[in-house]
Structure 1
Amino acid sequence: MNSPSTNTQNPNLIWNFRPDFPTASLPPILQNVIYAVKANTQAPLVLVVSSALAAISLACQRHLVVRRPNGLEGPVSLFSICIAESGERKSTVDAIFTKPIREFEIAQEKKFSKKLNEYFAELSAWKIEVKAVSSAIKKHKKQNECNVSLEEKLAEVLLREPRTPNKIKLLYSDTTPEALQYGLSENGKSAGIFADEGGIFFDGYGKGGLPAYNALWSGSSINVARRSMVSFTLENARLTMSVMVQEKVFQKYLAQHGDLARSNGFFARCLVTYPCTTQGTRFLQNQLPLTEPIDTLHKRLTEILEHNEKTDVGMITLIFSGDAAQRWIEIYNQIEGRLGPNGYFADMKDFAAKMAENIARVAALFHYLENDDGEISLVNVNRAIDVICWYAEEFRQLFVPPPSIPAEQSDASVLQHWLTQVVGMQGCRIVKKNSVLKLGPYSLRSKKRLDAAIEYLAVQNKLVLYLGDRFGNMRFDGKTTWIDFNGMCQQFTPVGNKYLS
């Protein structure tokens, strides 16, 4: 099976018309904050959207599971890659949306310090108790006395060894896959890679961690084998990814590792976008920054993060309402039906295969952001469909090469340009076919290619062939084939029956 190809030939990545992001499909709380952050920073809209979705994903992922209508369950985590040049204010936008997460980490750090002091005190008391019971057992052994009860007490004391408190760490930027896995094991099983300078990720540790990242996106267990430390199994861990990278770095990665990243499904899991730059249009205006929508989102994310402390990983399972489930099944089947040969998703089966799951995740996040009770509604499923379908078009623009133009169509375009701009500008409307073979564009000095190009234009009624004399007069017994391209140059007024010999 051939691996999916990456569109590495286009130096500018985007080659076609791009629809606007469906901002109206976002929940009101998210719409308001997107517009506020965009107004305050003048960063590209899609950069703002991707950063917001990633922050919401990280806040919610620890305790949420979404059960899709086909009965399968999975995390709500999102992977996001935003291709943006230096100066697009990636760091500024990232700092705004991760502020409540960073503040939560600081608060947890203070709690951890207090718990650590308590742990050391408990550990000291426990060690004294262990030593006392062990000494009593030794004393009884020297006196040949039965010490069954003391041995039982020692076993009971050993079982009460204080546990080292977990340190909550949510945000990672420059970390190896190994360090990330260990951090997830020891520090709360929920984390986010937020790299506003994605060169570190794509040039460094990101290349070797793709299988682990894929497993974490899916919620699968990971067996971590270590040489210098005890091996362990990472279960129920959650990972959000938000990587912002410059085009040259991303292009280099595509050229070297793009086929691997697509064939193993990493890019298929990612919501990748390349926003249009706003540089050169970010003029200052005399207005105060918008803060209320941002504060509202920060407050909601803080509530969600604090709720994480009271629940285990995957404690809350979100399900679809009846009409929402029916709609999800409908879109799932539509996507599946377009995966076949010549189907709309035939060239991007990898991404399309994950679309329905990403729709479920985004719908769950929209639902929980607005309201943490009840079932996922039809409204939020439709919102998620609009968002993920937009990202699907971005994926197509970035990874699916533009369709090749048939040779006869390309040649017809060359012929049309030559006839109108070279021959037509001389006031002619007819030309000998042999003159095209001798004097025309080099690529059309082949009878076979010229005939195909003429036929293509003739079908569109842009030119006609006829037999005539050597002056261009139509004669059934004529021996010269003429091309009349008046259909392409109506703007020229022929003088008599001018022709190019």
Structure 2
Amino acid sequence: MNRRGQRSTWQQGYPVEALGDLLGPAVERLAEVIGVPCAMAAQSVLASAALVSQGHANVQLDGRTYPLSLYLLTVASSGDRKSAVDHLALKAAREWERQQWTLYEEKLKAYRAATSIMAKPKTSKTISGAEGGELSEPVPPRLIIAEPTIEALVKSLCHGLPSMGLFNDEGGQFLGSSTMSKENLLKAITTLSMLWDGSPIDRARSMAGESLRAYDRRLSLHLMLQPYLANQLFKDPVINGQGILGRCLISWPERLAGQRLYKAIDLTRDANVQRYQQRITALLQKPWSLHKDGSLNPPTLELTPRARRAWIDIHDTIECQSGEFGELAGVQPVAGKAAANVLRIAGVLAMVEEASALDEAHIQRASTLMDYYLAEIQRLTEQEPVNSRREEADRLLRWANSNTTGWP
């Protein structure tokens, strides 16, 4: 960690170079051409990379398993081009998902036709014998889900793809849904925390067929939030008490409105963006290693001896500065998960770069990225009174805009 002892309230720039030679240039081009802060582009690109990496590997250290799933929160106002950058960052994933849905519909049609024939007494024996056993219904290939109920999310992970992303460039749709209502909030938060941890899904219900148990599922999350929603989220006692925000990589970049001159560039033809999209597609097309029950059986990414020593130094530095009078005392929930997030980020970088192990450079680059997120949460914590006043001003403006009928 290279930022200890330099606590300040000014905003630290996003360390794009730490993303590497593939993700970094793509982030820079997206930010430059679309007109968004590098931090916003990096959030979308890193989330996409985690989504396609999490099913292919775990990091293992001293018998402990660390999934590659990442949870990211990005705060930006309306008009800051959240949707534009997220659309391009997820373009390859969306295209893959669309292709898979087309194949799924064809398989489902064939499955229904076959089961219809098998239901007829005269042909059931012939068909089952020809097929070599019972037909299995094809799995819906829902890779990205935007505003699910928590039960729908769990069912999708159990009965659909074992690796998914909860991504929404208008995160208020998810936070404002029944999932995050007062009645369901605690269940939703604990479930999301459990999925980040990589714990088994266990749902015991009295209704027949409603109980669920599934192992080795993976979920990455990226919600892009309006400032007033972010402030409500950060201040919610249930959300803070359950520690979900400590698992998240949070960025609230400065606005660029007034500086974004049009650039006549087609990013789909940009070499750096194309390289990024091609690698995302390659990871999507790579088959997962699965157990017989359909759960993920990802191979292990080991740390080299130098990487292991570097990570232990990072872990111990963070821990020492998380005490009552330490540099990170005010952000203990985030600091407590920071070393684990370093391993997760390093694992994602390694998968994108086709590495077979985590080397020291992966750990140091992931540490540099984690430095940014620690600095960001410190800045936001220190500026909470300012954020509250900003929230009140935003609320007043929304009220004025909705009550302009009859005004001169």
Cα distance, 1:338–1:124 mapped onto 2, change above 3 Å: same
Aligned pairs for 1:58-137 within 5 A:
58-67=51-60, 69-128=61-120
Which one-letter code corresponds to 2:376 in the other structure? E
Deviation at 1:124, TM superposition (A): 3.9
Provide the C-alpha distance between the structure 2 equivalents of 1:206 and 1:308, rounded to a whole number of angstroms: 34
Q: Quick one: distance in 2 between partners of 1:352 and 1:16?
A: 18
Q: Which stretch of structure 1 is more off in the superposition, 301-310 or 101-110?
A: 301-310
Q: Indicate if the aligned counterparts of 1:62 and 1:308 stay in contact, CA closer than 8 A.
A: no
Q: Give the superposition deviation at 1:130.
A: 9.0
Contact 2:234–2:240, Cα closer than 8 Å, also in 1: no
The one-letter code matched in structure 1 to 2:92 is P
Question: What's 2:195 paired with?
Answer: 216
Aligned residues: 364
Structure 2 residue 161 is matched with structure 1 residue 168: no
Superposed, 1:16-95 pairs within 5 Å as: 16-67=9-60, 69-95=61-87
> Contact conserved, 2:55 with 2:163, CA < 8 A, in 1?
yes
Q: 1:377 to 1:226 in 2, by over 3 A?
A: same
For 1:230, the equivalent position in structure 2 comes to: 210
State how far apart, in whole Å, the 2-side matches of 1:74 and 1:288 are.
38
Larger Cα-atom Rg: 1
Q: Is the 8 A contact 2:75 2:224 kept in 1?
A: yes
CA deviations over 1:210-232 (Å, ceiling 9, x no partner) = 10000000100122244655211
The CA deviation at 1:309 is 5.0
Q: Are 1:386 and 2:378 matched, yes or no?
A: no
- Render the CA deviation track for 1:270-312: whole Å, top value 9, x for unaligned: 0011100010101125666561111111111111011135656
Task: Return the offset for 1:158.
Answer: 12
- Long gaps (5+) in structure 1: 1-14, 134-153, 404-501
1:347 Cα offset (Å)? 1.9
Alpha-carbon deviation of 1:341? 2.1
Amino acid at match of 1:211: T
1:299 and 2:240 equivalent? no
Name the amino acid aligned to 2:305. Answer: G
Partner of 1:445: none
Q: 2:379 aligns with which of 374, 391, 397?
A: 397
Query: Partners of 1:213 and 1:286 in 2: how far apart?
Result: 41
Map of 2:168 onto structure 1: 195
Alignment partner of 1:361 is 2:344: yes
Distance across 2 between alignment mates of 1:279 and 1:106: 33
Q: Which amino acid aligns with 1:342?
A: F
Contact 1:41–1:92 (8 Å) recurs in 2: yes
The residue aligned with 2:258 is 280
Show CA shifts across 1:326-360 (max 9, x none): 10111111111222221112222211111111000
Letter in 2 for 1:58: L
**8 Å CA contact 2:304, 2:358 repeated in 1:** yes
Compared with structure 1, are the counterparts of its residues 343 and 224 closer, same or farther at alpha carbon in structure 2 (3 Å cutoff)? same
Q: 1:274 to 1:375 in 2, by over 3 A?
A: same
Distance 2:289 2:197 in 1: 24
Structure 2 partner of 1:351: 334
Bigger relative contact order (CA 8 A; separation at least 6): 2
Deviates more, 1:122-131 or 1:383-392: 122-131
SS of 1:308 mapped into structure 2: coil
Letter in 2 for 1:265: G
**CA distances 1:143-183 after superposition (whole Å, capped 9, x unpaired):** xxxxxxxxxxx9x9999321111111111112111111111
Contact 2:57/2:298 (8 A) holds in 1: yes
Letter in 1 for 2:373: Y
SS in 2 for 1:17: coil
Instruction: Give every structure 1 segment of 4 or more consecutive aligned residues whose post-TM-superposition deviation is greater than 6 Å.
Output: 129-133, 156-159
User: What is the aligned-residue identity percentage?
Assistant: 26
Residue type at the aligned position of 2:140? K
Q: 2:105 is matched by which residue type in structure 1? A: S
Residue 240 (structure 1) aligns with = 220
**Counterpart Cα distance in 1 of 2:369 and 2:122:** 59
TM-score, normalized by length of structure 2? 0.83
Q: Is the 8 A contact 1:44 1:278 kept in 2?
A: yes
- In the alignment, the residues of structure 2 paired with residue 217 and residue 308 of structure 1 have an alpha-carbon distance, to the nearest angstrom, of 22
Aligned residue in 1 for 2:4: none
Change (3 A) 1:26 1:128: same
1:80 alignment partner AA: L
Secondary structure at 1:36 match in 2: helix
Q: Which residue of 2 aligns with 1:178?
A: 151
Q: CA deviation digits over 1:444-479, x for unaligned, max 9?
A: xxxxxxxxxxxxxxxxxxxxxxxxxxxxxxxxxxxx
Distance 2:22 2:131 in 1: 51
Q: 1:83 to 1:132 in 2, by over 3 A?
A: closer
Separation of aligned partners in 2, 1:379 and 1:166: 39
Structure 1 196/286 Cα, relative in aligned 2: closer, same or farther at 3 Å?
closer
- TM-score between both structures, scaled by the size of structure 1: 0.68
CA contact under 8 A between 1:109 and 1:168: conserved in structure 2? yes
Change (3 A) 1:58 1:132: closer
Contact 1:65-1:76 at 8 Å conserved across structures: yes
- 8 Å Cα contact 1:130-1:158 kept in structure 2: no
Q: 2:374, 2:221 → 1: CA distance? A: 18
Conservation of the 8 A alpha-carbon contact between 1:123 and 1:161: no
Work out which of the residue numbers 340, 344, 353 in structure 2 matches 1:370: 353
